[in-house]
Structure 1
Amino acid sequence: MLEKLFKLSENGTNVRTEIIAGITTFLTMAYIIFVNPAMLADAGMDKGAVFVATCLAAAIGCFIMGFVANYPIALAPGMGLNAFFTYGVVLGMGHTWQVALGAVFVSGLIFMALSIFKVREWVINSIPMSLRTGISAGIGLFLAFIGLQNSGLVVDNPATLVGLGNITDLKPALAALGFFLTIGLVYRGVRGAVMIAILAITALGLLLGDVQWGGVMSVPPSIAPTFLEMNIADVFQVGMISVVFAFLFVDLFDTAGTLVGVASKAGFIKEDGKLPRLSKALLADSTATSVGAVLGTSSTTSFVESTAGVAAGGRTGLTAVVVGILFLLALFFSPLAGMIPAYATAGALFYVAILMMSGLVSVDWRDLTEAAPVVVTCLLMPLTYSIAEGIALGFISYAAIKLLSGRGREVSVSVWVLSAIFIIKYLIS
């Protein structure tokens, strides 16, 4: 049955290899079951319900990717998108988390339509690579800033707005130790390095009396507080346009980049440069995003950590299915997830930030018309505390700089249109 479903022999693999690959992928991305509930809880959502929604959305996404697209790519609520959800849309713009879930749901439907009608290549290719790089790097800076604040390493300062916290206090010190431990374990190639670092810092917090013991396993919490709680009606407001676009673009670019990266490592890309079953893979991602919103979590997306499973030999959707099963088993570890303090996840946020900022090396810094919009996008995301504002101002600056530099012809129609929409939004909001 497995051979027929996943074509194991055709892809040069077997059941044992796929299971090992699935376990490897899960260990590298399991930190999301701790980080996501903690982050969305700051938006006022029930932490236990978000934990269940995180595990279920990840499992459903993995199953669709595995059974329908037959790719060894795992999905879960994405880092950066969850930060934008909480600190940008809810705390920053003042919308309710129900409206934010509605925006995630609508963005998933749009993504699904782009996949079904096969216009996603036009959308992706029409956005300049420099802007895509700037968006990713900006989200990385945003995550790093959130990690610094949550851990107390950066605090409010009346004179300078922000300043260095007391790094000798317990929480900032443990946060810094968690970051150092994460990088050290990742560099040494330890499987599950991020999750190990989170659990180690939590254990230290427990020993030092800052964390209260809550147990390890129990029956999963109720998902009722977040299930079907999304507010779709209020999404169709002028002020929500940039929010929906932000959720859509980040998910779209993140998914496209992950698919290409993992497919290249696995040798799936054909000689003509095309990726087989691309529509099915994108459909799996967009469906998981909408389903996740229904359950009660931010956008679900493909995880670049899937490359760890590919490196371990994973070549088919069975790898993704194994990851999905492990996410379902993780449902019974809610007490452990509930004990994780914010400073224990700061190292993970910083590590993900490093990965997201690494793409800046590809920017042509000698061309100011390309480099300047990247810097605008990168800096304004953390400084405005909004991924949506960073994207909007990045598009506007790209179009304006190219036009005033006499290179307006290099700007695609989609960039002109989006820039105009963003300007209109600012004028009437």
Structure 2
Amino acid sequence: MEKFFKLKENKTDVKTELIAGVTTFMTMAYILAVNPSILKETGMDAGAVFTATALASALASFCMALLANLPFVLSAGMGLNAYFAYTVVMGMGYSWEVALAAVFVEGLIFIVLSVTNVREAIFNAIPKTLKIAVSVGIGLFITFIGLQNAHIVVDGATLVTMFSFHGALTGGTFHTEGITVLLALIGTMITAFLVLKNVKGNILLGILITWLLGVLCELSGLYVPDPELKFFSLIPSGILSMPSSLAPTLLKMDFSGLLSLNFLVVVFAFLFVDIFDTLGTLIGCASKANMLDQDGKLPGIKGALFADAIGTTAGACLGTSTITTFVESSSGIAEGGRTGLTAVVAGALFALSLFFSPIFLAIPSFATAPALIIVGFFMMQQVAKIDWEDALCAIPAFICICAMAFMYSISEGIAFGIISYSLLHLLMGKGKEVTPLMYVLSIVFILKYVFL
């Protein structure tokens, strides 16, 4: 493992990589429950989607390790699966078979773009200040995700607001929703305490302790599961299970609308969101781990992008929506993960989940929320590297950070950051300091907002 993963060169060891891999998987395991629940709305078989998601995640993560030796883990992208189900199938009226075909075509295009260095060129064209801003923006973004997953932040008259414990007590929902919000807050403090004490595996321990507290609350009657409200038992229904058959979704792509304009629009939408979500995640996580070189480039990025493309293509064949690099990879990086061994461990756990699904599906979102919040803190530390005295570069960075969190999208944050960076440099008569590719990207983003 030392020879293949270059552990000493990357200032890590097997134990650290194992903990990092397990931590990343634990923060991502929710996708195994969420993805089938979303895609089944299209008529897809939930069991087959579960199997496809686990297998595609394992395959793509192994490819990341073998092709790039980077600690990034992949699975079915959140947002992309919602676009697949609610926009393409339920909104535009396509069958899920046609939607899978669009994902497959997107994957093939990605492979071509990765081999021809187009995606790598885009990565390298983004200025270092914006790359730092992406890392900070992702920190805010995943903190917001954690707060929402735990229901600490909920819908309200002010768009979002804090969960009301008084309302839960008077409305009779304290023993379902209220107690889980309280557990998430307690779990965040426990994880923060472990971080302050420099306890090895602090984020993973935070997840497990918060989950255990939930189990104790359920056993004592303080937490009462209510499946109708999507509050499920925290105690695994079993240990072992046999994987569901892939037959209902395997190779079920329908290419009958391949040459239609609408089909090409769908492919482009998948392509656009995936390419910039992936680049944003790679930039953010690599910045946090200090993996970028002096020029702001990521060694091994070509292999990382290729692994991402393979995952998307294979996932479509198996029967799941777009596979992409997960921002939750930052939780493993925060634990010290620096090589592909982290991705191998997480990938192996995705494969094992096929046989231990009752355990993994019992991990509640309120237990992983503290991990996302604390990782958000770690990624926010990058904000100190932005030169705030240089307003010409700092303002686009600020716009990028805000857009990513408040628009709930990594790709939108990158888009607004690139457009504002290019436009402000032009207005200030410093257009020559911006690379031609940045202008091309700015025009593409603007056209995307006009026509999509």
TM exceeding 0.5? yes
Q: Deviations over 1:225-278 (max 9, x none)?
A: 66556788588544764652231133235446767987969xxx9x99998876
Please state how far the C-alpha of 1:50 moved relative to its aligned partner: 5.1
TM normalised by structure 1 equals: 0.76
What's the C-alpha RMSD, in Å, of the aligned pairs?
Answer: 4.2
1:402 aligned partner: 425
Distance in 2 separating the partners of 1:108 and 1:294: 10
> AA paired with 1:354?
F
**Kindly tell me: are residues 201 and 398 of structure 1, through their superposed partners in 2, closer, same or farther at Cα, counting changes over 3 Å?**
same
Q: Distance in 2 between matches of 1:83 and 1:245?
A: 15
Q: Hey, what does 2:323 align to over in structure 1?
A: 299
CA distance in 1, matches of 2:279, 2:420: 21
Partner of 1:40: 35
Question: Secondary structure of 2:238's match?
Answer: coil
Contact 1:36 1:51 in 2 (8 A): no
Instruction: Structure 2: state its 5+ residue gaps.
Output: 167-177, 226-231
Displacement after TM superposition at 1:170 (Å): 1.0
Give yes or no for the alignment of 1:288 onto 2:311.
Answer: yes
User: Is the counterpart of residue 144 in structure 1 residue 127 in structure 2?
Assistant: no
What is the aligned partner in structure 2 of residue 245 from structure 1? 272
Identical-pair percentage: 38
- Check 1:277–1:384 CA distance in 2 against 1; reply closer, same or farther (3 A cut): closer
**Aligned partners of 2:153 and 2:137: how far apart in 1?**
18
CA distance in 2, matches of 1:230, 1:164: 43
Q: 1:163 is matched with which residue: 161, 164, 184?
A: 161
Distance 1:260 1:147 in 2: 21
**Aligned match of 1:183:** 192
Three-state SS of the structure 2 residue aligned to 1:390 is helix
Return the alpha-carbon distance in structure 1 between the equivalents of residues 187 and 31 of structure 2: 17
Give yes or no for contact 2:27–2:371 (8 Å, CA) kept in 1: no
Q: Give yes or no for contact 2:23–2:203 (8 Å, CA) kept in 1.
A: yes
Q: Is contact 1:108-1:290 (8 Å) kept?
A: yes
More displaced, 89-98 or 283-292?
89-98
Matched, 1:422 2:445: yes
How many residue pairs are counted as aligned between the two chains?
409
Q: Does 1:413 align with 2:413?
A: no
The letter of the residue matching 2:141 is: F
Tell me what 2:172 maps to. Answer: none
Q: Is 1:77 the counterpart of 2:104 in the alignment?
A: no
3-state SS of paired residue (2:353): helix
1:209 is the counterpart of 2:207: no
CA positional deviation for 1:371: 1.6
Note the C-alpha offset of 1:376.
1.8
**1:173 shift after superposition:** 0.8
CA gap 1:175/1:256 in 2 versus in 1, 3 angstroms: closer
- Provide the rounded CA distance (Å) in 2 between the counterparts of 1:359 and 1:219: 44
Distance 1:193 1:100 in 2: 40
CA contact (8 A) 1:262 1:306 kept: no
Give the Cα–Cα distance (whole angstroms) in 1 for the partners of residues 392 and 363 of structure 2.
44
Distance of 1:135 and 1:242 partners within structure 2? 21
1:361 paired to 2:384:
yes
In structure 2, distance between residues paired with 1:217 and 1:186: 33
Seen in structure 2, the aligned counterparts of structure 1 residues 166 and 56 have a Cα distance that, compared at 3 Å, is same
1:351 aligns with 2:349: no
* Contact 1:370/1:398 (<8 A) preserved: yes
Residues 1:260 and 1:327: Cα distance change in structure 2 (over 3 Å): same
The aligned counterpart of 1:117 is: 116
CA distance in 2, matches of 1:224, 1:11: 40
Question: Residue 128 of structure 1: CA displacement?
Answer: 1.6
Q: Counterparts of 1:278 and 1:119 in 2: how far apart (Å)?
A: 12
**Who is 1:31 aligned against?**
26
Unaligned runs of 5+ in 1: none
Alpha-carbon distance in 1 for matches of 2:248, 2:396: 41
User: Secondary structure at the residue paired with 2:141?
Assistant: helix
Which range moves more in the overlay, 120-129 or 182-191? 182-191
SS at match of 1:113: helix
Q: Which amino acid aligns with 1:34?
A: A
Distance (Å, rounded) in 2 between the aligned partners of 1:201 and 1:12: 31
Q: Name 1:133's counterpart in structure 2.
A: 132
Alignment-mate amino acid for residue 161 of structure 1? L
Which whole-Å CA distance do the structure 1 matches of 2:160 and 2:287 have between them? 39
CA distance in 1, matches of 2:430, 2:321: 42
Q: Distance in 2 between matches of 1:400 and 1:273?
A: 22
Provide the C-alpha distance between the structure 1 equivalents of 2:379 and 2:105, rounded to a whole number of angstroms. Answer: 25
How far is 1:76 from its partner? 2.5
Structure 1 residues 384, 349: CA separation in 2 closer, same or farther (over 3 Å shift)? same
CA contact (8 A) 1:147 1:349 kept: yes
Is the Cα–Cα contact under 8 Å of residues 83 and 143 in structure 1 kept in the other structure? no
